[in-house]
């Protein structure tokens, strides 16, 4: 995170590939606000798994990680959060 070039590349990737696609899928109202926790979850998981090499995240199979964080991401995307009602 100390390398500004690397941070810019990661930010561009997250905005283009994760944030933009998530906000498009959510649609208004408040798509950007509700997409933000999804992006933050991916950033945190990526930092812990790849940069921090935090076990057992680093060696966990992808399907197991999906099982662990999937319900949280699903709630961010489709559940009742704050003033948004389904």
Copy the structure tokens of residue 4. Answer: 């500004």
Return the pLDDT at 55. Answer: 95
For 27-72, the pLDDT digits (tens) are 777 788 878 888 889 888 988 988 889 999 999 999 999 999 998 8
Using CA atoms, how far apart are residues 83 and 28, in angstroms rounded to an integer? Answer: 13
Copy the structure tokens of residue 38. Answer: 């999804």
- Cβ(62)–Cβ(15) below 8 Å: no
More confident residue, 3 or 49: 49
Using CA atoms, how far apart are residues 22 and 4, in angstroms rounded to an integer? Answer: 25
């Amino acid at each position: 995170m100390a390398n500004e070039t690397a941070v810019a590349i990661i930010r561009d990737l997250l905005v283009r590939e994760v944030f933009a696609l998530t906000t498009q899928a959510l649609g208004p109202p408040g798509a950007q606000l509700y997409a933000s926790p999804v992006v933050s979850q991916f950033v945190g998981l990526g930092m812990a798994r790849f940069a921090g090499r935090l076990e057992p995240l680093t060696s966990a199979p992808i399907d197991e990680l999906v099982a662990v964080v999937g319900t949280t991401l699903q709630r961010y995307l489709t559940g009742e959060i704050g003033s948004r009602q389904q």
